[in-house]
Structure 1
């Protein structure tokens, strides 16, 4: 059966890792901030979804995760720098970060009730109560 669709930009995870390293070096040399779209453009991908598609291919999952982690790291560093960090906060929220405290009120059985207390009363306890009456 003939191959259909656009040919892969990367034939193996090593090529993707190499492209990531080149992108990171480019950002360091140029001072350009690391972004997902910047990474995709640098790698020759046509969309962010194309990068996500590689994650589902055999052997590429770790390489794609490392790409995203490198970009996330750049945003995290911006939180510690001088100047406005609201853009970095927004981007990190898209990576699953949260700037609010989240409390889980659900108990281990899936309900919102506290577990029932078990009270053990011995015959000696009962006798002690009866003796006081």
Structure 2
């Protein structure tokens, strides 16, 4: 019987030890679990928050920057190009048109006017002079006869 008792004591001890372990485990687990989960949650949330904010911030800023730069660049260049082309085209065409029309008008009117007046004057003077001289000459010749 002396052999059995220590075994039973050791059995009881082992059982009670197991019970103690189980009790201590069941008591500690929610605390450690919640602590770990809260710590991990905080870490994950912080990490994810930082990552997401940084990533999204960088992505959004980069994307928006690139998009805005591209869009604004294209828009501004196209708009300015079209505006400048239109404006310069209209201005140049109007200016050149006005210049050419004025220049041609002045030149043609002056040139034609001078030419026509000169030519007509010379022609009329010559013609009238010749006609008058001839007529007067003929008349005077007839008159003197």
TM-score when normalising by structure 1: 0.20
Larger Rg belongs to: 2
Which structure has the higher relative contact order (CA within 8 Å, separation 6+)? 1
TM-score when normalising by structure 2: 0.19
Richer in helix (by share): 2
